[in-house]
Amino acid sequence: MLKFSHIYVETEALTYPISKELIRRFDQAQLIKIDDYRDIFNRNKQNWSAQKEAQKLILAVQKDKFYYEGSKNCFNFGHKHFYYSSSILNCPFDCSYCYLQGLFHSANIVFFVNQSEYFDSISMLLQEKLQLLLCLSYETDLIALDPILPTIDGWLNFAEGHPRLTLEIRTKATNCSRILRRTTLDNAIFAWTLSPQIVIEKYEKGAPALKSRLHAVKQAIEYGWKVRICIDPILFIPDWQLHYQELIEDLFSTVSAERIFDVSIGVFRMNLNYFKKVKKRHPQADFMSCDWQCREGTASYPIILKKQLTGHVLRLLAKHIPMERIYACER
Amino acid sequence: MIIIVAALHCEAKPLVKHFRLKKDLKIRSHQVFRSEQIHLIVSGIGKIKSATATAFMCGRLPTENIQLIINIGICGAPSDFSIGAIYLVNKIVCHSSKKALYPDILFKHRLNEAQLLTAEQPFGGNSDWAAGSSLVDLEAAGFFQAANLFVSPEKIACLKVVSDNLAPSTVTASKAEELIGDQLTSIDEVLLAYSSLPSQAQLDTF
């Protein structure tokens, strides 16, 4: 469980009950009032690695950025209107390949306390677009943080009242039993990112083991939730063929393929500017030890290698699950 | 390598003695005292002088070797702060620009933390600022901004000892020296904690 030595709180955020609750819960933390979260979160010359070891909590009020259009580096899963929303910035896990290291100047966690305004804004968007895929957990892991920073119940309640909205909640977390016991929703998908155990050990610091994640996947399916499996990013590591084969064998020996809603796969890829920062932070990481190509502002492995990685994982998956339920990123 | 910035010679004196620093006679613009690990500069009073001295000292040393840049000195405070108490500053507000600056405190420590207002000139208890709960000094905002040009904010610290309850005329040089001298154990603890932060951290700034 995360503990915060310091809580920075916007003066406006102080009036929200959730802020008061968090301040009460972390009553040992130093409370520092701020005018605008960006004054601390967007400072220049911050030290991501050092901050990550001692993450602080920033309580803020989101003013206008309640949703964003989906990135070209992400799937739309067949939805014409694909958006994502970030009610929390940054993650408790420390994955070496994560683009958040490049996206944000700070490793501290920002929690936007005005969740109801997200709902208002997305309701309006939904009225305009009629159908919508909204991914909630791209810039954080909402489920991992939910025991401390509760958001999931609110989002699921919102989805329950808006059937034309499809929610995707992506996670590596396993502390989800309470959430999964809720009444299931047809328009909510829990998506687990799975990696070979060796990748988890080397590059997903703080994240649960594969075995635990598979257990959570199984539990979610048994409760009746739609579950998406994300093998993304696929990393070029020594003996990658073997490790991804083991991962997929472990997956389908734990859960029945018929009961998985769909699978998405994608080779490691990243906005070039973020990639430069990640590479600087992890110069020795073996998944970065090969040549790189940059196309249209996105850095990734050379095309031949990408095809090998994708092809191998696709072939392994296709033994268990129909291709129409597998989404492979082309980028 | 640690850089200490003190406004006055009387604040520097107990530190020079404690850390056995030798005066660098080659430097004529400022009084600089140093050992192999610690470089102390006496800046003079005010945020511009503090910024100038901080930048001067940082510019003379390889940035990658700097573990900590710390401002140590006395400050004023409202009457609910005890005279002689030491504080690690977690927020600095520049009174003239209203800009807020945030040192990152990433290690566990036993000191009390406080916020600090950097004023343009000394003031008494009748000032409208006295109603706040901040410490008050004349240097920290300038010091921090200069230091942050060279290192990331977890390598910048500000340690203040309360010298008066917004009555600066009551503070003598010998009193200031005594107040700093009484806090050498706490100062040692802070320097030790900062110098043990990961050294590779400098690489990760952006």
Give per-residue pLDDT as tens, B49-86.
Answer: 999 999 999 999 999 999 999 999 999 999 999 999 99
Q: Is pLDDT at B128 greater than 80 in this prediction?
A: no
For B95-123, what is the mean pLDDT? 92
Contact B152 A54 (CB under 8 A): no
The count of other CB atoms within 10 Å of the CB of residue A265 is: 22
Least Cα distance to A318 among A307, A328, A329, A326 occurs for: A326
Q: Which position has the higher pLDDT, A45 or A196?
A: A196
Contact A32 B102 (CB under 8 A): yes
Work out the pLDDT band at B195, boundaries 50, 70, 90.
Answer: confident
Residue B125 is predicted with a pLDDT of 57
Chain A contact present for B203, CB below 8 A: yes
Angstrom distance (rounded) from CA A174 to CA A211: 10
Chain A contact present for B200, CB below 8 A: yes
Taking only residues 70 to 129 of chain B, the set having a beta carbon closer than 8 angstroms to any beta carbon of chain A reads 90-91, 100, 102, 104-108, 113, 115
Residue A70 is predicted with a pLDDT of 84
Work out the pLDDT band at B200, boundaries 50, 70, 90.
Answer: very low
Residue A34 is predicted with a pLDDT of 96
Dihedral in degrees, nearest 10, Cα atoms A92, A93, A95, A99:
-30
Candidate from A48-62, B25-39, B110-124 with smallest mean pLDDT: B110-124
Tens of pLDDT, residues A271-305: 999 998 888 888 888 887 778 889 889 999 999 99
B90 vs A contacts (CB less than 8 Å): 6, 30, 32
Q: What is the DSSP secondary-structure string of A214-254?
A: HHHHHHHHHHT-EEEEEEEEE---TTHHHHHHHHHHHHHHH
Residues of chain A above pLDDT 90, percent: 86
Angstrom distance (rounded) from CA A152 to CA A157: 8
A8 vs B contacts (CB less than 8 Å): 102
Tens of pLDDT, residues B134-179: 999 999 999 999 999 999 999 999 999 999 998 888 999 999 999 9
Contact A54 B113 (CB under 8 A): no
Average pLDDT over chain A reads 94
Q: Is pLDDT at A331 greater than 90 in this prediction?
A: no
> Under a CB-based contact definition with an 8 Å cutoff, are residues B50 and B142 in contact?
yes
Tens of pLDDT, residues A159-204: 999 999 999 999 999 999 999 999 999 999 999 999 999 999 999 9
What b-and-e string marks burial along A282-321, b requiring 16 or more CB atoms within 10 Å of the CB?
beebebbeeeeeeeeebbbbeeebbebbbebbbebbeebb
For A37-63, what is the mean pLDDT? 95
Angstrom distance (rounded) from CA A123 to CA A116: 10
Alpha-carbon separation of residue B122 from A201, A217, B138 (angstroms): 56, 63, 7
* Residue keyed to tokens 């003079």: B44
Residue B137 is predicted with a pLDDT of 96
Chain B contact present for A277, CB below 8 A: yes
Tens of pLDDT, residues A217-227: 999 999 999 99
Closest CA of chain B from A51, distance in Å: 7
Closest CA of chain B from A84, distance in Å: 26
Nearest to B204 among A32, A40, A47 (CB): A47
Q: Give, for A23, the enclosing helix (H) or strand (E).
A: helix A17-25
For A218-243, what is the mean pLDDT? 97
Q: Is pLDDT at B194 greater than 80 in this prediction?
A: yes
Residue B198 is predicted with a pLDDT of 56
> Under a CB-based contact definition with an 8 Å cutoff, are residues A149 and A111 in contact?
yes
Average pLDDT over chain B reads 91
